[in-house]
Structure 1
Amino acid sequence: MPKTTVCDCCHKRTVKSNLRVVKNPYFIEYLKRINKNVHSGYKICKSCFTIAYKNCRIRTLRRSKNIDVSLRCQSTESSPIPSKCEDSNLEIVSNVKVKRPKTNGDQTVRLSLPRVTHDHKQCFICKRRDKCLKTVPVKAKCHFYIQKGFLIPPGARCCQIHLNMIFKSEDISNVTPSNNDTVMNTSDIKQLLEELRAFALKAGLDFDTPGLLNDDDYWILTGLRMKDLNKLYTIVKDKLRNTHIRSIRTSLAVFLMKLRTGLSYKVLSTLFCLPKIAVSRCISTVRDIMMSEFVPKYLGVDHVSREDFMKMHTRPFAKELFCPNEEKVIVVADGTYIYIEKSENSADWRPLPPYSLHKGRPLVKPMMIVSTTGYILEILGPYFADGRNNDASILKSQLNDSSSTLRSWLREDDIIVVDRGFRDCLSLLQDMQLVAKMPSFLGSRQRHTDEEANESRLITYVRWVVEATNGLLKTWKALGNVMANSHIPHIGDYVRIVAALCNAYRPPRKNIEEDERIMAQRMIRLSRQSNTLKIKVEEKGWIKKRVIWKEMSADDLQDFPRLMFQELCDLTMGIYQLKQAKSYTKEHIDNQGLYKIFLHKESSDILRIKIQSRHTASKIIYSLWIQYNSTTVLNWYCQCKVGARVVGCCAHIASVIWYLTYDRYQDHSTRRVLCDYNNYLMDADVEGHWSDNNEENGD
């Protein structure tokens, strides 16, 4: 038998384990109605404890909600009694089923606003049931209401992966409301309104709260994706500090927006709601930290070894062309231009550097050393832009300097791909046992030979990446637009920072493909062939003969082959000429163009076309010949400077082939019409176009 004892309140005998020690003063106040001697510490039975608890609960509800409830100790719950408010959309509800008494005076309000479903054990976004769900914070509820227009009720939970201070946009895109009413207490409503007020008071662009700006906004404003800016933040955050007017992320965003958009300090101060002096300090501070912490990791000959450079940043195509059986470094060098404002030091400012007589405007000149994939190895300069600082002189100064890191990094038999502007330093490169690859120099001749044109095409097929990389840098408008003279001391830093950002967070200009070696072998094989159609044209004198040609009619060329666009790319050895074909062909097929096609009277598989030069304003007419069969184009020859090559073709031939084999079969109804500027611009030369003959005659 279990031991029994007597209750100190009702004096009834009960099991000892059922006794409760009373300490609550409200319980004691009510129990004194039964026994005046009840004090704190008395042991009471389970029945007395239950009666006192229910009495105190009803008393608490009366005090907090002023509800007239009859005192019935045997009742376990009370019916809700609604009380109407001034607003018809609000209704006070007494939720009597309370686990513990409330003493803060909160009231429960029913709002006629849609809400999501909520469950303590289920994520309201992905409907996943888990024990490790997270209660939705007030800031996330506020942002969700702004984005979606309905509420998240108290008690709703979600998975941790959906939250990053606020909800990710892609996660809540498919969330729909499940009920048209929301029940919230007054404290929750107050918190939501305070958060909405704080959100409304925020002025300017906010890069501190994740999710307010989407990934496209980050790309447009800063030139980086959100994840890339977060990586950059982790690199520089230890050297920066938060202040009372701007955070570390805001400082970084101000600097990147300056580079990306080229906006002035005044515009940036308006966008970020910062004083102009604060914007200036942000840019200066972040620039110095980027140069010390970020740039050395992604730019310079010391940040990558020769072995890694050859393995990860060298195209197999270039290896097959220049060093098929050896492991050599292949780099491409070229200068670029950063335009600056006119100098105010002198009225006669033209002879003063950094004015360029070649471009006719003031500028500075950095030089880029890139890999065959477009990875930027080094930025040299910036240099002056006068005649003493051409591309050859800049490279000479670097290679003659014994302290130059580029000179110590390069070794014997390494290959440097350059353009014709470096011809004055070829002897120096040869003396240093470096191999220079440069397109053929025309000199006083009118056109290149077959061998020279083919060899030049092999080099330009590798060298174009440096031009593409220059174009990539100019997408950062601070470098593409005219830069203020106050920034001249920092131009080198800006160029290096942008180059490091491109190396770190942008894909290479040319991806390494599996079939590049096959393409290289094909181009090498073609470069060793002669242009058979050129030989036939010169031997038979087709350039001067006119009677053997007849102008094409609408019924001719029915047997001319029809090609796919990829087949055209294989035929022209690239896409550069095909990109120009659209506008170049339109110029010659209109009523005023000089686009005339002739057929050979004896050989029906040969065409002769007269076409205007693409490179000069004077109306120089070239003749070109195309030989074909029913399946493909066999040979071609043009009278332009590089028209004799068989490794690809010139732009004149590409435009004709593109039109005859591809464009005339396309549906042009949805094509964007090219703008004819003659309808909008006026010509002051009403008597005739100016030419060199006018100057010679003294006109």
Structure 2
Amino acid sequence: MDRNCFVCNSRFPRNSSGRPLECPAQRLFFSIRTMKTIPHNARICFNCRNVYREWKSKNEAFRLIMEHFEEKSGSRERTLSHNSESMDSIIEISTTSSSTSSCHANKPSVEEPAVEIRFDRVAASHHQCCICRAVDPNSTSVISDEDRDLIFMRQHIFVPKGARCCAKHLENKRLSYESFKNLIIYDNELISFTSDEIKSLLLKYQSALESEKQIHFEQSSSLTDTDYYNLIGLTKPQFDKLISFISDSNIIHQSANRSVRTAIGLLLCKLRLGLSNHVLSSLFQMNNKKVVSRAIDSARKALMANFVPKNVGFHHIDRDTIIKNHTTTIAKELIGGGRDVAIVVADGTYLYVQKSRNNIFQRRSFSIHKHRSLLKPMTIVSTTGYIISVLGPFLSDSTNNDANILKHVFFNNMEDVLNWFEEEDKLVVDRGFRDCLNMMNRLGIEVAMPSFLNGKKQFDVGDANRSRLVTKVRWIVESVNGRLKQFKFFNQTIQNSLIPHLKDYLLITCAIINYFKEALIKSKPEDRELAASMLALVNKRNEVQDMILEKNLLSKTVWKKIDSSNYLNFPMLSEEELREITFGVFQIKRARSYAEEHILTTDLSSTVINYELQTCTKIPNLIKVRMQSVHSRRKSYESTIHHSKDEIKGWYCTCPDGAKVVGCCSHIASVIWYLAYERFQSEERPKPSGTYISLVDDSIVLSDFYDSSEADDSDDDTNDNEH
């Protein structure tokens, strides 16, 4: 007798001779699994028997089929186990798979054992949709055999041959994902299965299991919209739309491992998740990283040829379109003076790269400012966040600062930029572009830039107010760069081997953002009134600052410390009223951080908070709070606020930006936010970030043992000297 297991060929233990394969269902299962004809005296080990049991427990529908099959075939079991020719006719493996439609017969053959299993089924009508039950014989299509098999295997719902559905439920002649979820059960009835039908279904299960991919962009039902967005940053309809741009392109050659959808999906996964080609080959079940690399390269070329030129670059959109469709009311009023001129915002961003073996490239790509190797793209956007163009990337040494990069763009007329701009157009930039002001003025382009301190400790009121008008518009380019870094490929260290294609990846990502993402900001009806309010304050003096100087309120003797819980004369404000003071949301978002540091707790709803402030003994309703600088432990600023019982009259802070009256600094905003809003909130809103510092070791904290040792040593030395 053979001492080895027929299935796994493992040796039986000495005290065991294995289990005989007499059950027809088991013989059928292992015959399909091993692709062998099972002899009548075959035996299996305990582990293989458990594999069969586990498979039955995980496949409820086929467990019922197998049990019925065993019951109906009980009378023939002895004959089947001793008649190999009869057994071979039942379990002969067919290498050609057939659809479920061919094995679902109306009446089983008398010569074959058959079982009846109760299943849910949909309607089978030539005039009615089995999904939505609509009656329209002219617009229905027969459900494909592949979809019938998929529905049966995944949802255990039987779809009769000839069942029809509306054309709206199909995508590329296959059922959509939503249609799979919306099937309407028509009846629950007994359905007959012959042994051949069961064998065919088992083969289909095996084939589906072996061919199942972890990430599959080919079948519309394999991934949900959420899966699409998490993997590639686009929803399924958006991905389908992107594919339509290159569906007629012959750049991507179809093969077993490379279709248009798979190639584009690979590229977007790499950009969105920042994964290496090794990891992508595992996720997509491809042979090696070279297959992935070739697919990504073909997808890059196809998108650069058919999609990018239509969606990014100065050539793809004209100046008038930017003025009409991509300029906010706030920018038009604050920067453009209400005129129809092009207003664009420019700024550089950073893409970190590896250190290079080449000394010249390493030296010229090393940023003294960031102390890292990086490259700098120049992003030029509209005031709504629409990306007009992204130029570069450029090197990052001292000769490639923002001003020199912009000079290079205009001197070399990159993308015909000189013909795009017209005189009196506006360019909004930060202080890093100061060296290109003269060039831009000679070209007739007016530059809006924040003011400089020029050796002073604080901006005067006028400069601070005008700078606030610029920052109210300029923030949009920072948000665009942040949106770009949501594609993790650009937010991590990029391999130097990818630098030849880095510009293409930037353009592809920006084109996708332009086409599929909504504008970061849209004009609202109240924006014109908001802009008018800001402009009305530009030339106004800071009355609280003047009051402090005139009445000599810098002396400590005129201030008295109190607890905020005893100070009830401060007005109560809503979040909307707070935004009217700050003219934005950034300062309000920062308010909690300053307040938590001031009271040394993250639980701002506690009843035992000691929010320390000072009141003026000379002038009523004038308070002062000392706020710690967020950047330096050695610096703190005095934030002074004048108020009545119903409103905030004015403010002044000693920080560099604290004299402005067009909005306020973050220190002033934090004091007003806490005293006028947060302390009246009953709902607890703890922030977990406040506990992080206690979870990390601090080398400054010394143990008691160390301190006492130092003290003892010092005392001993002193005593020795005295003796």
TM-score by length of structure 2 reads 0.77
Shift of 1:101: 11
SS at match of 2:476: helix
Instruction: Please name the residue that 1:228 is paired with.
Output: 238
Q: Please identify, of 283-292 and 573-582, the stretch whose mean Cα deviation from structure 2 is larger.
A: 283-292
Distance 1:596 1:139 in 2: 72
Shift of 1:323: 2.5
Given that 1:330 and 1:371 are in contact with CA atoms closer than 8 Å, whether structure 2 keeps it comes out as yes
Q: Output one character per residue of 1:194-230: Cα deviation in whole Å (capped at 9) or x when no partner.
A: 5433321223411000021011111111111111111
Q: Output one character per residue of 1:375-411: Cα deviation in whole Å (capped at 9) or x when no partner.
A: 1111111111000000000111122225651122112
Instruction: Please name the residue that 2:310 is paired with.
Output: 297
1:142 corresponds to which of 149, 166, 183? 149
2:633 corresponds to which of 595, 599, 618? 618
Shift of 1:136: 2.7
Instruction: Please name the residue that 1:29 is paired with.
Output: none
Distance 2:485 2:639 in 1: 37
Instruction: Please name the residue that 1:67 is paired with.
Output: none
The one-letter code matched in structure 2 to 1:417 is: V
Shift of 1:308: 1.0
Q: Output one character per residue of 1:341-387: Cα deviation in whole Å (capped at 9) or x when no partner.
A: 111235xx897111111100000011011111111111111111000
Distance 2:559 2:73 in 1: 92
Q: Is the counterpart of residue 337 in structure 1 residue 320 in structure 2?
A: no
Instruction: Please name the residue that 1:162 is paired with.
Output: 169
Instruction: Please name the residue that 1:278 is paired with.
Output: 291
Q: Is the counterpart of residue 636 in structure 1 residue 651 in structure 2?
A: yes
Structure with the larger helix share: 2
Given that 2:465 and 2:660 are in contact with CA atoms closer than 8 Å, whether structure 1 keeps it comes out as yes
Shift of 1:189: 6.0
The one-letter code matched in structure 2 to 1:646 is: V
Given that 1:643 and 1:650 are in contact with CA atoms closer than 8 Å, whether structure 2 keeps it comes out as yes
SS at match of 2:652: strand
Given that 1:124 and 1:156 are in contact with CA atoms closer than 8 Å, whether structure 2 keeps it comes out as yes
Instruction: Please name the residue that 1:197 is paired with.
Output: 206
Q: Aligned in 2, Cα 1:686/1:235: closer, same or farther, shift over 3 Å?
A: same
Given that 2:270 and 2:489 are in contact with CA atoms closer than 8 Å, whether structure 1 keeps it comes out as yes
Highest CA radius of gyration, 1 or 2? 1
Q: Kindly tell me the number of residue pairs found equivalent between the two proteins.
A: 594
Q: Is the counterpart of residue 494 in structure 1 residue 505 in structure 2?
A: yes
Given that 2:564 and 2:610 are in contact with CA atoms closer than 8 Å, whether structure 1 keeps it comes out as no
Given that 2:326 and 2:384 are in contact with CA atoms closer than 8 Å, whether structure 1 keeps it comes out as yes
Q: Aligned in 2, Cα 1:495/1:307: closer, same or farther, shift over 3 Å?
A: same
Q: How does 1:290-439 map to 2 (within 5 A)?
A: 290-346=303-359, 352-402=363-413, 405-439=416-450
Q: Is the counterpart of residue 152 in structure 1 residue 159 in structure 2?
A: yes
Q: Aligned in 2, Cα 1:143/1:669: closer, same or farther, shift over 3 Å?
A: farther
Shift of 1:477: 0.8
Given that 1:595 and 1:610 are in contact with CA atoms closer than 8 Å, whether structure 2 keeps it comes out as no
Shift of 1:605: 1.7
Q: Is the counterpart of residue 598 in structure 1 residue 607 in structure 2?
A: no
Q: Is the counterpart of residue 248 in structure 1 residue 229 in structure 2?
A: no
Q: Aligned in 2, Cα 1:233/1:107: closer, same or farther, shift over 3 Å?
A: farther
Shift of 1:185: 5.7
Q: Aligned in 2, Cα 1:188/1:583: closer, same or farther, shift over 3 Å?
A: farther
Distance 1:403 1:480 in 2: 26
Q: Please identify, of 288-297 and 266-275, the stretch whose mean Cα deviation from structure 2 is larger.
A: 288-297
Q: Is the counterpart of residue 215 in structure 1 residue 225 in structure 2?
A: yes
Q: Is the counterpart of residue 584 in structure 1 residue 591 in structure 2?
A: no
Q: How does 1:446-465 map to 2 (within 5 A)?
A: 446-465=457-476
Shift of 1:604: 3.3
SS at match of 1:370: strand
The one-letter code matched in structure 1 to 2:239 is: L
The runs of 5 or more residues in structure 1 that have no matched partner are 1-83, 92-98, 689-699
Q: Aligned in 2, Cα 1:504/1:86: closer, same or farther, shift over 3 Å?
A: closer
Q: Is the counterpart of residue 110 in structure 1 residue 116 in structure 2?
A: yes
Q: Please identify, of 420-429 and 487-496, the stretch whose mean Cα deviation from structure 2 is larger.
A: 487-496
Q: Is the counterpart of residue 509 in structure 1 residue 528 in structure 2?
A: no
Instruction: Please name the residue that 1:130 is paired with.
Output: 136
Given that 2:122 and 2:158 are in contact with CA atoms closer than 8 Å, whether structure 1 keeps it comes out as yes
The runs of 5 or more residues in structure 2 that have no matched partner are 1-66, 75-104, 603-608, 704-723
Shift of 1:144: 2.8
The one-letter code matched in structure 1 to 2:283 is: L
Distance 1:584 1:182 in 2: 70
Distance 1:292 1:468 in 2: 28
TM-score by length of structure 1 reads 0.79
Q: Output one character per residue of 1:89-129: Cα deviation in whole Å (capped at 9) or x when no partner.
A: 899xxxxxxx9999999997521333345555433332323
Q: How does 1:163-178 map to 2 (within 5 A)?
A: 163-164=170-171, 165-173=173-181, 175=183, 177=185
Q: Aligned in 2, Cα 1:114/1:598: closer, same or farther, shift over 3 Å?
A: same
SS at match of 2:121: coil
Q: Please identify, of 132-141 and 435-444, the stretch whose mean Cα deviation from structure 2 is larger.
A: 132-141
Q: Aligned in 2, Cα 1:591/1:277: closer, same or farther, shift over 3 Å?
A: closer
| Alignment root-mean-square deviation, CA | 3.0
Given that 1:260 and 1:477 are in contact with CA atoms closer than 8 Å, whether structure 2 keeps it comes out as yes
Given that 2:628 and 2:635 are in contact with CA atoms closer than 8 Å, whether structure 1 keeps it comes out as yes
Shift of 1:572: 1.0
Q: Is the counterpart of residue 627 in structure 1 residue 642 in structure 2?
A: yes
Given that 1:341 and 1:483 are in contact with CA atoms closer than 8 Å, whether structure 2 keeps it comes out as yes
Instruction: Please name the residue that 1:571 is paired with.
Output: 581
